[in-house]
Structure 1
Amino acid sequence: MKKALVEKFLDTPNKKISLMGMSGVGKTHLSKKLPKTDWFHYSVDYRIGDRHLSEEIHDFLTLEAMQQPVLAKLIREGAISVQSQLTVDNLAPLSAYLGMMGSESKGGVSLELFLERLEKHRLAEINAVKDIPYFMEKAEKILGFSNFIIDTSGSFCEIQDEASWELIGTNSLLVYIKASEAAKNYVIERAQTHPKPLYYQKDFLLPQIELYLEETGLTSSHEITPSDFTRWIFPRLIEHRLGLYEMIADKYGITIDAERLYHVKNQEEFFELIKEVAHA
């Protein structure tokens, strides 16, 4: 099956590929090696924030600004407005909207609100995946791009939607970039020093909160320091996601080691690596 997928990809003039893996594993690094004039870059995260959660992000930012009385007055008078400057390379507004679960007095989001935002994000991600066939056609017929690359989100494996995984696997060659132990440890270390908002499956998150409360002696999620919990849960989240990535890749795509991919210098070497993996 893997050989058939790769042969179909290599024989097709207009190539379509999807990259899957945890943040920091090399998806963006690879994208920069491909000719920008030939490849249309579709970022699932960007589509989520720019389209499917744009109103929620705008309202969130507006409410944050309105906590300052002067700004609140100007906003209500229509004198100013708050605008997201979300880009493919800067997804900070989307991350800020999602937030980190924990004590609101410590800058966190209540568990109830956090679960609501997680579900909105999950549905937005599913819709962003559904948009892919439309953009594939637009990229080729209107914008004139020969090839199409999909940068899936780090949480793509967690949306619990088989139809989304199948859509990606059917419409493109799905490449799972598997992190080495060194790369995985680097990502974990970075998360310890720079904790950031993360997406979780509800069924994964809730038991982890109970375990954290038990270990720390806290009695409620409202007492949790958001950054401390994010540091604690991140290594567990990585292990959880790795198993899901493997499952999706086994069913719908191929797996390439991140260390080998890092040394790829251009499109031709990338295609050759794909061929080697399929025939290994």
Structure 2
Amino acid sequence: MKLSLEEFRAWNNKSITLLGMSGVGKTHLASLLRKDNWFHYSGDYRIGTRYLDEEILDLIKQQAMQVPLIQELLLKDWIYIRNNIKVDDLGPVMSFVGKLGNPELGGIPLGEFQRRQALYRQAEVLAMMDVPVFIHKAHHIYGYRHFVNDVGGSLCDIEAPEIIDLLAKHSLILYIQASDHAEEERLIKRAQSNPKPLYFRPGFLQEQLTEYLREQQLEYAAEMDPTEFTRWIFPRLFRSRIPCYEAIAAPQGYTVTSNEVSAVKDEADFIKLLEKAIARNENE
């Protein structure tokens, strides 16, 4: 959605989609706005509680059934297992998506990893398709004036242009880019120490996997240390996403920096930042 400053200021029920890498401030910003009559729609939360919920629970139950006591309790319906994902804690989704590599080191075999990746992509597509419905719910059921869509960092990788078009039709897309190279390195290190669920485009994953196996002189993915492979591939994934984000923001949205976002303390600051981004785009 492209708007003039006048159109933006006259927009009574604003809907904003926050786009960018994990760590640039999307969830922090959305949580901040929630205090000021903004409905916070978290794509990752929707994925975990709606579209991957059954898969996550099946995985947990599969492990639990290997313990005789728990197996008996589950089969007799004396206990139940529930997914307790939080907006700022994606542990259950992370456990399901997992890491590719040696199963003896906690990794997931290649075929199963690819299956889960496909399910994760489908879940993200479905979660984004729900955005127009939740914009309506936010205003007409929950009574919020504005709506902010906090999307996962992998949105640019799902290769579904129709989803980007849908979001651009119903919201203003705001891309938060790392301010500089030093900030990019900080985000990479943060993600490596505090990993989030990762989605890889199939072609990208195969290309990088082939290179890693060659570098490490390994024959199969099942020989890889899953944590080491994830740490190795993430900087490459990070940098591959930058042009993808820019390709979305240039024609259909606006761009601000993570430094600009870090200065936002309340709704008034956020509105000023949006106006600045629109004005900057008009002057280009």
TM-score, normalised on structure 1?
0.94
Distance of aligned partners of 1:279 and 1:194 in 2 relative to their CA distance in 1, 3 Å threshold: closer
Deviation at 1:63, TM superposition (A): 0.9
Deviations 1:91-110 (A, max 9, x none): 11011011101111111111
Distance of aligned partners of 1:33 and 1:212 in 2 relative to their CA distance in 1, 3 Å threshold: same
Structure 2 CA distance for aligned equivalents of residues 183 and 231 of structure 1: 18
Which position in structure 1 is the counterpart of 2:104?
105
Q: Is the 8 A contact 1:6 1:274 kept in 2?
A: no
Which position in structure 1 is the counterpart of 2:114?
115
Q: Does 1:235 align with 2:240?
A: no
Which position in structure 1 is the counterpart of 2:89?
90
Which position in structure 2 is the counterpart of 1:251?
251
Structure 1 CA distance for aligned equivalents of residues 54 and 34 of structure 2: 33
Worse-superposed segment, 125-134 or 210-219: 125-134
Aligned to 2:32, the other structure's residue is in SS state coil
Structure 1 CA distance for aligned equivalents of residues 110 and 5 of structure 2: 44
Structure 2 CA distance for aligned equivalents of residues 268 and 236 of structure 1: 36
Which position in structure 1 is the counterpart of 2:190?
190
Structure 2 CA distance for aligned equivalents of residues 130 and 5 of structure 1: 26
Distance of aligned partners of 1:197 and 1:18 in 2 relative to their CA distance in 1, 3 Å threshold: closer
Q: Does 1:40 align with 2:64?
A: no
Structure 1 CA distance for aligned equivalents of residues 228 and 50 of structure 2: 32
Structure 1 CA distance for aligned equivalents of residues 236 and 123 of structure 2: 24
Alpha-carbon RMSD across the aligned residues, in angstroms, is: 1.6
Which position in structure 1 is the counterpart of 2:217?
217
Deviations 1:228-271 (A, max 9, x none): 00000010000011111111111210000111121122212221
Deviations 1:137-187 (A, max 9, x none): 111111111100000111111111011111111101100000122221112
Which position in structure 2 is the counterpart of 1:52?
51
The amino acid across from 2:112 in the alignment is L
Q: Is the 8 A contact 2:34 2:40 kept in 1?
A: no
Deviation at 1:116, TM superposition (A): 0.6
Distance of aligned partners of 1:231 and 1:140 in 2 relative to their CA distance in 1, 3 Å threshold: same
Q: Is the 8 A contact 1:169 1:253 kept in 2?
A: yes
Deviations 1:70-115 (A, max 9, x none): 2223222322222111121221101101110111111111110011
Structure 2 CA distance for aligned equivalents of residues 127 and 197 of structure 1: 17
Q: Is the 8 A contact 2:31 2:40 kept in 1?
A: no
Distance of aligned partners of 1:5 and 1:22 in 2 relative to their CA distance in 1, 3 Å threshold: farther
Distance of aligned partners of 1:192 and 1:121 in 2 relative to their CA distance in 1, 3 Å threshold: closer
Deviation at 1:197, TM superposition (A): 4.1
Structure 1 CA distance for aligned equivalents of residues 126 and 67 of structure 2: 34
Distance of aligned partners of 1:40 and 1:61 in 2 relative to their CA distance in 1, 3 Å threshold: same
Distance of aligned partners of 1:81 and 1:160 in 2 relative to their CA distance in 1, 3 Å threshold: same
The amino acid across from 2:45 in the alignment is Y
Structure 2 CA distance for aligned equivalents of residues 6 and 109 of structure 1: 49
Structure 1 CA distance for aligned equivalents of residues 83 and 263 of structure 2: 36
Aligned to 1:199, the other structure's residue is in SS state coil
Aligned to 1:71, the other structure's residue is in SS state helix
The amino acid across from 1:274 in the alignment is L
Which position in structure 2 is the counterpart of 1:135?
134
Worse-superposed segment, 107-116 or 185-194: 185-194
Which position in structure 2 is the counterpart of 1:203?
203
The amino acid across from 1:178 in the alignment is Q
Structure 1 CA distance for aligned equivalents of residues 84 and 34 of structure 2: 26
Instruction: Count how many residue pairs are aligned between Structure 1 and Structure 2.
Output: 279
